[in-house]
């Protein structure tokens, strides 16, 4: 959709680090521009399609959505495995935490894969990843079509969720598949073709969605970098900055009235972003710097909802709104707070 009203009672977002990162994202800007009274962030860095579906399904079952609400969904890439990895069911902000480490990495054994950081889990066959995530993609889209409120859905998958394209165009997978014997390669591609055909109706819907990943890639290609360090930062951490997110939502979703609200704060937002980049660049190791970018979210307790707490909270706890994520208070946004932006 391209028309948003001037004010919503509640905005919910669902997604991964494209939607919930250490700086302001596209969903934060939409919530701000439409003067949302409440903003529930369920997005989590590293989250996949299973995580998005379970959170969206939970909200649909436990909240009386009306035309005063807005749902924002950013579909993560398909090559992820979401795991709820704790047995502590005490209701607090660290319980039932999801293990969402991002894309799945293949082991030395090319016939199997296992997501990095999920120590002790059974290895995951590539076709299992395709079947599970396309199933959750279908469930998300089916549920999305039933929502009784305004809604936006975008995606970030360069391969359009097509298993055949993953095997042929995704260097991460194709480099490993070449180690298969010819018969195994053929069988794997046949399975990928069957899965793609099975979900052809679902995959056909993706082409109608806005591809945020493609927008970011094109935006970076046109950028003129002020220094080598700035260019290195973008290479090290490709997540869109608040400047790119703002241009994206202005182009596709926000009208001039919405933008006027954000324009009062955009300079301070960008100053904080530049400070964040400078702190990250002090790290000489790319991987260490990248983890530093994400880790503060997992250390904050209380102000951000980013795990599975809603799935286990009692109706009374949900009714009291203990998991409302207040975004960007330091900018005096209505009922929106941002936790320690200078610190993180």
Give the per-residue pLDDT at 15.
Answer: 92
Question: What is the pLDDT averaged over residues 181-197?
Answer: 91
Give the per-residue pLDDT at 143.
Answer: 97
Give the per-residue pLDDT at 116.
Answer: 45
Question: How would residue 84 be classed by pLDDT, with cut points 50, 70 and 90?
Answer: low
Give the per-residue pLDDT at 324.
Answer: 36
Give the per-residue pLDDT at 170.
Answer: 84
What percent of the chain has a predicted confidence (pLDDT) above 90? 33
* Distance in angstroms (rounded) separating the CA atoms of residues 51 and 82: 6
State residue 51 phi and psi, 5-degree precision: -60, -45
Residue 150 has which token pair? 């305004």
Q: Is the pLDDT of residue 99 over 80?
A: no
Give the per-residue pLDDT at 9.
Answer: 87
Give the per-residue pLDDT at 123.
Answer: 59
* Distance in angstroms (rounded) separating the CA atoms of residues 138 and 125: 20
Q: Which of 33-37, 173-177, 211-215, 336-340 has the lowest mean pLDDT?
A: 336-340
Question: How would residue 343 be classed by pLDDT, with cut points 50, 70 and 90?
Answer: very low
Residue 244 has which token pair? 């790119």
Question: How would residue 284 be classed by pLDDT, with cut points 50, 70 and 90?
Answer: low
What is the 3-state composition of the chain as percent helix, strand, coil, each rounded to the nearest 5? 45, 10, 45
Question: What is the pLDDT averaged over residues 178-197?
Answer: 89
Beta bridge partners, 75, equal 155
Q: Which of 64-68, 87-91, 196-200 has the lowest mean pLDDT?
A: 87-91
Neighbours of 202 (CB within 10 A): 17
Give the per-residue pLDDT at 321.
Answer: 45
CA angle in degrees (0–180, nearest 5) for 100-323-328:
90
Give the list of residues 6+ apart from residue 340 with CB closer than 8 angstroms, or none. 300
Q: Is 340 left (phi over 0), alpha (psi -120 to 50) or beta?
A: left
* Distance in angstroms (rounded) separating the CA atoms of residues 54 and 213: 23
Q: Is the pLDDT of residue 329 over 80?
A: no
Give the per-residue pLDDT at 224.
Answer: 81
Give the per-residue pLDDT at 190.
Answer: 94
Give the per-residue pLDDT at 96.
Answer: 45
Task: Name the residue ranges covered by the structural domains of the chain.
Answer: 10-105+140-160+205-331
For the four alpha carbons of 298, 246, 52 and 129, in that order, the dihedral sign comes to: negative
Q: Is the pLDDT of residue 315 over 70?
A: no
Question: What is the pLDDT averaged over residues 130-148?
Answer: 96
Give the list of residues 6+ apart from residue 54 with CB closer than 8 angstroms, or none. 308, 311
Give the per-residue pLDDT at 302.
Answer: 34
Q: Is the pLDDT of residue 306 over 70?
A: no
Average pLDDT, the chain: 76
Q: Is the pLDDT of residue 175 over 90?
A: no
Question: What is the pLDDT averaged over residues 220-230?
Answer: 80
Give the per-residue pLDDT at 112.
Answer: 47
Asked if residue 21 lies in contact with residue 269, where contact means CB atoms within 8 angstroms, the answer is no
């Amino acid at each position: 959709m391209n028309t948003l009203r001037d004010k919503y009672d509640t905005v919910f977002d669902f997604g991964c680090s494209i939607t919930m990162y250490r700086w302001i994202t596209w969903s934060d800007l939409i919530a701000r521009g439409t003067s949302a009274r409440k903003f529930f962030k369920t997005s989590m860095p590293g989250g996949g399609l299973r995580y998005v579906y379970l959170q969206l399904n939970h909200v649909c079952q436990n909240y009386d959505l009306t035309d005063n609400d807005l749902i924002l969904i950013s579909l993560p890439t398909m090559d992820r495995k979401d795991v709820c990895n704790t047995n502590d069911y005490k209701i607090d902000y660290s319980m039932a935490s999801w293990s969402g480490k991002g894309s799945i990495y293949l082991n030395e054994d090319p016939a199997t894969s296992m997501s990095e950081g999920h120590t002790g889990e059974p290895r995951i066959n590539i076709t299992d990843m395709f079947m599970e995530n396309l199933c959750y993609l279908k469930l998300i889209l089916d549920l999305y079509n039933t929502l009784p409120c305004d809604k936006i859905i975008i995606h970030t998958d360069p391969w359009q969720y097509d298993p055949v394209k993953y095997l042929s165009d995704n260097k991460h997978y194709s480099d490993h598949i070449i180690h298969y014997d010819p018969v195994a390669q053929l069988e794997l591609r046949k399975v990928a073709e069957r899965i793609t055909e099975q979900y052809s109706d679902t995959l056909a819907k993706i082409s109608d969605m806005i591809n945020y990943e493609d927008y970011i890639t094109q935006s970076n290609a046109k950028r003129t970098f002020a220094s080598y360090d700035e260019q290195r930062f973008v290479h090290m951490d490709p997540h869109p900055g608040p400047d790119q997110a703002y241009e994206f939502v202005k182009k596709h979703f926000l009208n001039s009235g919405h933008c006027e609200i954000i324009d009062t704060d955009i300079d301070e937002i960008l100053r904080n972003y530049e400070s964040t980049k400078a702190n990250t660049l002090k790290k000489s190791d790319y991987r260490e710097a990248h983890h530093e970018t994400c880790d503060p979210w997992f250390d904050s307790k209380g102000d951000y909802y980013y795990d599975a707490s809603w799935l286990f909270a009692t109706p009374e706890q949900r009714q009291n709104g203990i998991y409302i994520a207040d975004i960007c208070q330091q900018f005096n946004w209505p009922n929106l707070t941002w936790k320690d932006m200078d610190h993180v």
